[in-house]
Structure formats: C-alpha cells, structure tokens
Chains A and B, each alone.
Chain A
C-alpha cells in the first residue's frame, strides 16, 4: 500500500510538471527566440526531450511487461481519456492544415477551441461510460478538423 501511495504522489507531481513547463515555454519562448543562441537552446532542448522519449521507450519495448511502451500507453490511454488523441489531432491539424492563410474564425476560434475541447473530452467520456463504442481515430479526425479550422498556424 505504501508503495502504491508513493507512486501516486510521484504521478501527481509529474503530472503538474507539464503545467509548469507550459508556463515556462509560454513566458520565456519569445525571449529565447529573439536571438539565434536562444533559438538554438530551445531547439536543442526539444531535440533532447524527443531523444529522451525514444531512448526511454527502448527498455520498455524489450522487457517482459506487456503494454508499457509509450505507444501502447497512448493507445490504451486514448481509449480511457479522449484528451490524448484529441490533443494530437489538434496539433497535427494546426501544423498541417491545407491552404496557407486559412483562419476562418480568427481570435474567436481560440475561444471556440476551448469550448469544443471541453465538449469532446466530457462528451466522449459520457458516451464511453454508457458502454458505447467510440474509436480513438474518430476523435483524432475531429481534432484534426478542429485544429485546422480553429487554431491554424500561419
């Protein structure tokens, strides 16, 4: 029991890290991007994190425990919480939307995205709670559309 509580505490602490990280990126990214050195630092940090995620996945892929790689956890997690496939769909739609300059809703789109995100995450949870099937790829597809229309880059 003590072991489980320790892991739960660690998980909560780790789950709060993205919030702190997001704040740090939001506050300091623009400052770093003003110089090539700062930009290189950001790019280096991003590359380091990507490499760390890949390297950490290797021992999980070859050990005896089933379902512990990041890919398996993301797939399982997508069935339990829509927020994972939804987030990935939003960002992919944002980056790779068709037609440069596409921005049909402007700043209102950002507000709409927050509302739609809430509806999708809560709605999909309610649908699945009542034992209805809602495949993750549908959530990704809707996320792609939402990211392209409500939060497009450029």
Chain B
C-alpha cells in the first residue's frame, strides 16, 4: 500500500464519510429518524470522546512516544476511554447535559489521544516541528 494509493483512497472516501456523518448527527427536526443519535452526540461522550482521541492522535504536539510505556499504555487508553464513554451514558436523559458534556468529553479525549496514542512518525519527520515535511 503506497502512500499515493492510501492518499487517493483517503481523498475518495474521507470527505464523503464526514459529510454523511454530519447529515446523520445534525438532524434535529422533531420526529426525525436520527433524533436519538443527536441526543447521544450532544449529551454524552460516546461520540465526542473517540473524536477527541482521534484529534489528539492525529494532531497532538509531537512526542517521541506515549506517556506510559508497555501494555499499561493500552490499558489506560482503551480501558479509560471505554469507562469514560460508558459513564457518560448516565447523562443521556439529564436535561442540561447537552450543554457541556460532549465538549468536556471532546477535550478530555483529545488530551488522552495526544498522550497515550502517539504516532510513531517516520524518521524523516521527527526533527520537524510543524513545517511542511519533504517526504515522497
């Protein structure tokens, strides 16, 4: 799987997926089919946490490795995420939860993703601190 092939596949599938997910997440008219999903998105961390973790994973500040080495890292990342997402379900029917729960989950997930789900960057990129990388 060359980088060009993966880039092509990502460009072909990624944006359409994002738009479809947006259509599904944002249907708010009364009686719409996806209203339940909208509540889940806004009032719990079930969606916000993994999205935050992915943002931290992809765009977190450069690190040479996860905060904790070894299997404990995955225990914290996966176990902590499942626990946080599960506990956030208790907010599903709390009226004021949709004001803030998903925002908190997004930022908490981003911090966890940046610290415990680091990307092992190719050697050519490791010295780079935000400049365009010259990788072919």
A binding-site residues for B, Cβ under 8 Å: 7, 10-11, 14-15, 17-18, 21-22, 25-26, 29, 33, 35-36, 39-40, 42-43, 45-46, 49-50, 52-53, 56, 59-60, 63, 65-80, 85, 87-89, 91-92, 94-100, 128, 131, 133-137, 139-140, 144, 153-154
A-B contact pairs, 19 of them (CB 8 A): A7-B5, A14-B11, A18-B15, A21-B19, A26-B19, A40-B33, A46-B24, A49-B13, A66-B122, A66-B123, A67-B3, A68-B3, A75-B119, A76-B135, A78-B59, A92-B51, A92-B52, A95-B51, A135-B129
What's the nearest-Cβ distance from chain B to residue A85, in Å?
A: 5
CB-contacts of B35-84 with A (<8 A): 38, 41-42, 47-48, 51-52, 55, 57-61
Q: Is the interface of A mostly helix, strand, loop or mixed?
A: helix
Q: Is the interface of B mostly helix, strand, loop or mixed?
A: helix
Q: A18's contact among B11, B61, B103, B132, by CB below 8 Å, is which?
A: B11
What's the nearest-Cβ distance from chain A to residue B24, in Å?
A: 6
Contact present for A128 and B132 (CB under 8 Å): yes
Cα distance A72–B103 when bound, in Å? Answer: 26
Contact present for B24 and A95 (CB under 8 Å): no
Cα distance A70–B4 when bound, in Å? Answer: 11
> Given A39-B34, A53-B17, A100-B99, are A154 and B42 neighbors across the interface (CB < 8 Å)?
yes
Task: Determine if B8 is an interface residue (Cβ-Cβ < 8 Å).
Answer: yes
What's the nearest-Cβ distance from chain B to residue A39, in Å?
A: 4
Contact present for A72 and B119 (CB under 8 Å): yes
Contact present for A137 and B33 (CB under 8 Å): no
Contact present for A42 and B20 (CB under 8 Å): yes
CB-contacts of B1-34 with A (<8 A): 1-28, 32-34
